[in-house]
Each structure stands twice: as structure tokens, then as C-alpha cells.
Amino acid sequence: MKRILFIGTGGTIASEITENGLLPGLGPEQLLKYVPGLENLCSVDFLQLYDLDSTNIGPDHWLGMAKTIRENYALYDGFVISHGTDTMAYTAAALTYLIQYSPKPIILTGAQKPIGFDTTDSKVNLADSFTAACWDGMHGVAVVFNGRVIAGTRASKTHSKSFDAFSSMNYPNLADVRDGRMLQYIVPEFLPGPLFYDKLCPSVGLLKLTPGGDVGLMEYMINRYDALIVESFGVGGLPQTGGFHDLVRRAAEEEGKTIIMTTQVPNEGSDLAVYNTGFALAGSGRILEAYDMTTEAVLAKVMWILGQTRNSDEIRRLFYTPVSRDILSMK
């Protein structure tokens, strides 16, 4: 029988009603009381790592989760982490970079409704997560939610209220879970031993362009952060008035800042070279482009890369080297 470590971090799934809104309070052992029959699938140990709404989770917590998995890696066949949905996609991406090519499944799940509610997605999401964590063909980090198994670098929260909260962006689901059975379409790559990392650089900002937006905000963010992700419009570009182009090119080419151009359109990714508004940026050789990556994955990947190196050629090489199929079509 497989041995699974169940790590609780909080979120709606573990929340209870208080006078001041939903608040995480239930531990992982209490959660599993709602999932009968699990003892026939696997043996489970519990660990309460955090008790947080995921709005409060950040890079230090990602490092904490990776460390916990690293310390327990040899003892278990798989890991299930219960987590708030709001930032779960960021955590999934970050764990994918911190624990690369894991042969053992590391499954993140949560719920849109607390486990104690009459109508809740908590129980099925938990049961599906243990099914995925026990599945021989499952490797590495994935989000399991509403019957979908989504690669850790491809998940995005696309619905704020309904049970169908997560989508796999620009990439198919790895698997679906139907009535406790895995329908697996893609077998993730793995190595006999995973690569663990223990450093992230949190100094990565994200700016969403708005029509008529002030270049001063971008200038402030470039000065404030080591790296800036710019979510521009459509396939990508910058306004041709106001000094945006000069600012970005100077930051990337002369000041050693890492600038990543991406799009605020959720599907299909960027292609800076298409329009004159982005053409020169695409040809700069120093400005990076996200192409089909999710913004969540870009943020986590750049934090991971800047945790390893400050050499701009190496930053570029690592950024464009796919990890768990995070970047596929560079067009």
C-alpha cells in the first residue's frame, strides 16, 4: 500500500464560519474524516504546516513546503498539499521549480466551499488528489481540482466562485479523474532523483499595462525590483509614446534588470515580433518574452532563476529552458 504525506496549509477547504468571515481552522486529520474509504487506497500521515488563507502565502512559505517535502521525500510515495485556491497556481508553479523532475507525485488541492458545508467540492477534490498521488504514472507537481489533473506550471484560477475554478492554460490536462479512476493523457517527465532547490529571489514585480497608463509607475517598479514582468496587450508591445520603450530597453540592456514581456490575455500567449509596437523589444536580445507561459509560472520561474544566478546569459538560458513543459511554443 502506498504511503502518502498529507500537508495542510489552510485555505477555504479547512475554513470555518466566523463573525469576521471564513477562517482556516481545521487540520489535515480533521479534513480526512470527511473522506471515508481512504484507508483502502493508501496509508496517510498528517502534517499541519500552515493555517493560512492563501492570500497570506508567499515565497517563504513555498520554500517551507519544498523543505518539508525534501525532508520527508524518502519516507513517502507521494504528497498531497491542501491549500487555498487564490494563490494555489503560484504555489504549484513555485514548487515545480523548487522540486524538479520528481518521480513522486506532489499534488495540490483545495476547494471553493469549506469541507463542513452541505454543498462542497472539498471531499471529491481530496479523494481525487489521493487517487492521483497513488497513481503509478503520475510524477511531479500537479493541481487536482474538479476532476482535472493540471501540470503545476500550467494551472491558473479562472473562476472565482464556481467549482470549476482551475484551467490548464495553453496545455492539455495531464489527466482527468472520473469516479475514482485516473484517465491519464500525458505522463510527466521525471528523473530517478528529483532536483531540489532552496533559494528564491522575491524581488520580482508584475505590472499590468492599462491604456494611457503612466510610465512613472513602470519606472518606479523597475527601480524597486530586480525583475519586472510586464503584462501588455494582445500578443505584446508597449505604447510608442511616453518613453516606455527607452525605459525598458535601458533597464534590460544597461542596468542589468530582468524584464519579461508577457500578455494579459489568458490564452495563446505572446508574440512580440508581430507588431511594430513590440518588434524592437523582440529583437533586443536582453528582453525576455513569456510566449505561452502563464504569468504565475513566469513569476515563480524568474524568482527561482534569480535565486541561482545574476548572469544575464544564464538568466536567458534558464528562462527559455522548459521545466515541466512550462514553455512550449516560442512563437
Neighbouring-strand partners of residue 204: 227
What minimum distance in Å lies between the beta carbon of 28 and ligand ASP?
Answer: 15
Q: Per CB under 6 A, does 292 bind ligand ASP?
A: no
DSSP collapsed to 3 states, 119-139: CCCHHHHHHHHHHHHCCCCCC
Among 6, 38, 42, 54, binds ligand ASP (CB under 6 A): 54
- CA-nearest of 297, 306, 324 to 99 is 324
Q: Considering only residues 84, 147, 194, 237, which one is a binding residue for ligand ASP as defined by CB under 6 A?
A: 84
Decide whether 87 or 258 has the Cβ nearer to ligand ASP: 87
Angle at 112 between CA 267 and CA 99, to 5 degrees: 65
Choose the stretch contacting ligand ASP; rule: CB under 6 A; options: 30-38, 79-87, 132-140, 173-181. 79-87
Q: Indicate the SS3 state at residue 207.
A: strand
Q: How far is the CB of 19 from ligand ASP (least distance, A)?
A: 17
Q: Sign (positive/negative) of CA torsion 223, 226, 229, 232? A: positive
Task: Choose one: 38-46, 63-71, 81-89, 203-211; the region binding ligand ASP (CB under 6 A).
Answer: 81-89
Number of chain positions touching ligand ASP (CB under 6 A): 10
Amino acid letter at 330? M
Residues 277 and 257: beta-carbon distance below 8 Å: no
The 3-state DSSP class for residue 52 equals: strand
| Cell of residue 161, nine digits | 466562485
> Radius of gyration of the chain from Cα atoms?
20
Comparing CB distances to ligand ASP, the nearer of 54 and 173 is 54
Q: Is 96 marked active-site?
A: no
Percentage helix, strand, coil for the chain under 3-state DSSP, each rounded to 5: 30, 25, 45
Cα of first residue to Cα of last residue in the chain, in angstroms, is: 45
C-beta of residue 285 within 8 angstroms of C-beta of residue 249: no
Which CB sits closer to ligand ASP, 85 or 168? 85
Does the footprint of ligand ASP cover residue 109 (CB under 6 A)?
no
By CB under 6 A, name the one of 31, 53, 97, 325 that touches ligand ASP. 53
Indicate the pairing of strand 288-289 with strand 23-24.
unpaired
Distance CA 35, CA 115 (A): 10
Q: Point out which span in 52-60, 126-134, 220-228, 230-238 binds ligand ASP (CB under 6 A).
A: 52-60
> Is residue 86 part of the contact set for ligand ASP (CB under 6 A)?
yes
With CB under 6 A as the contact rule, the residue among 4, 7, 12, 291 that binds ligand ASP is: 12
Q: Are 157 and 109 in contact (CB under 8 A)?
A: no
Cα(156)–Cα(169) distance, integer angstroms = 7
Minimum distance of ligand ASP from residue 97's CB (angstroms): 21
Q: Which is nearer to ligand ASP, 84 or 140 (CB)?
A: 84
Q: Which residue among 91, 100, 112, 270 contacts ligand ASP (CB under 6 A)? A: 112
Question: Among 47-55, 141-149, 236-244, 279-287, which window interacts with ligand ASP (CB under 6 A)?
Answer: 47-55
Catalytic residue among 12, 91, 153, 258: 12
Tell me if 121 contacts ligand ASP by CB under 6 A: no
Q: Which is nearer to ligand ASP, 2 or 113 (CB)?
A: 113
Q: Between 90 and 319, whose beta carbon lies closer to ligand ASP?
A: 90
Applying CB under 6 A, the residues found at the interface with ligand ASP are 11-12, 53-55, 84-86, 110, 112
Point out the residues that are catalytic.
Answer: 12
